[in-house]
Amino acid sequence: MPSYYFDQQEKKCKQFIWGGCGGTRPFEKLAECKSVCETDTTSTWKSYRNEEYGFAFEYPSFYNSTDNTDSEGYYNNVVTLEDDHIINVKVIHDIDIYKILSAHAVLEREVLDSGITHSFEDTSIGFYNFSLATPDSKSSDNKTLLLGLIKHPVKNEFIMFSLGYSSTNTEPNNTPKARRLISSKDVIDEFYKILATFIFIEDASVPTSSFVTN
């Protein structure tokens, strides 16, 4: 049975063996793909580009973006996106033992000390393979919904995206913050869409039209 996916470059649905709006899941019917994806608003998304670590991605325009220069040894926080949920992006670099480990193994080690059980998945999203970790939903003190980790193809670096609940309940002028009435599933789907736009800037295997330039 054929399945359909949304081509982010041509902005239309096509028949293929994999798919989803972010290249993460197949649609069994063309009509379903069109209704979900061709009405997508990613054309209005903003771009983030990090020259130091050589990667870029796009994100919904309603997120507030804050450059984060906090450094913790081998961990550099680079940017925080915040709305009713928060996405932190950091780079793990130059840890000798990580040179020989896969992204999956590194992600397991990263969450080991959290005291929270995680389930793990390796999957293709957009142009790359990501390792994902989902915390046990029974952990009431946990504020993280999902972690995504990708390994740099050449350097001893890993880029980690963490999706969690925002602790900010007011706008800068102290007025109550308007919150989107969305479920965790909606937010996670949005997170997958963001990961699907991720590129390594100098990756020759990615079509030039996919590069984030603004």
Q: What DSSP string describes 136-198?
A: -TT-TT--EEEEEEEE-SSSSEEEEEEEEE----B-TTSPBPP-----HHHHHHHHHHHHHT-
Residue 18 has pLDDT above 70, yes or no: no
Q: Are 193 and 161 in contact (CB under 8 A)?
A: no
pLDDT band at 184 (very low <50, low <70, confident <90, very high): confident
6: β partners: 13
Q: How far apart are the first and last CA of the chain?
A: 40
Q: Fill in the amino acid letter for 77.
A: N
Confidence at residue 174, expressed as pLDDT on a 0 to 100 scale: 56
Residue 66 has pLDDT above 70, yes or no: yes
Residue with tokens 């580009």: 49
Name the token pair of 133. 């970790």
Name the token pair of 83. 């709305």
Reported as type and span, the H/E element at residue 37 is helix 30-37
| Predicted TM-score (pTM) of this structure | 0.73
Q: What percent of the chain has pLDDT over 70?
A: 72
Of 38-42, 86-90, 98-102, 115-119, the poorest mean pLDDT is in 38-42
**Taking residues 77-90, what's their average pLDDT?**
91
Question: pLDDT tens digits, residue range 142-156?
Answer: 578 899 999 999 999
- From the list 148, 56, 158, the residue with the least C-alpha distance to 102 is 158
Question: pLDDT tens digits, residue range 200-209?
Answer: 998 877 765 5
- Report the 10 Å Cβ neighbour count for 144: 19
49: β partners: 56
Residue 100 has pLDDT above 60, yes or no: yes
**Taking residues 118-136, what's their average pLDDT?**
93
CATH of domain 42-210: 3.40.1000.10
Confidence at residue 136, expressed as pLDDT on a 0 to 100 scale: 82
Residue 19 has pLDDT above 50, yes or no: no
Residue 178 has pLDDT above 80, yes or no: no
Phi-psi sector, 35: left (phi>0), alpha (psi -120 to 50), beta: alpha
Name the token pair of 209. 């039209």
Name the token pair of 189. 């789907």
Confidence at residue 49, expressed as pLDDT on a 0 to 100 scale: 94
- Domain-by-domain residue ranges, the chain? 3-37, 42-210
Of residues 122 and 40, more confidently modeled: 122
Name the token pair of 142. 């946990």
**Mean pLDDT score of the chain:** 80
Residue 38 has pLDDT above 90, yes or no: no
Residue 16 has pLDDT above 90, yes or no: no
Residues 6+ apart with CB under 8 A from 11: 38, 43
Residue 79 has pLDDT above 60, yes or no: yes
CA atoms in the 13 A half-sphere facing the CB of 54: 15
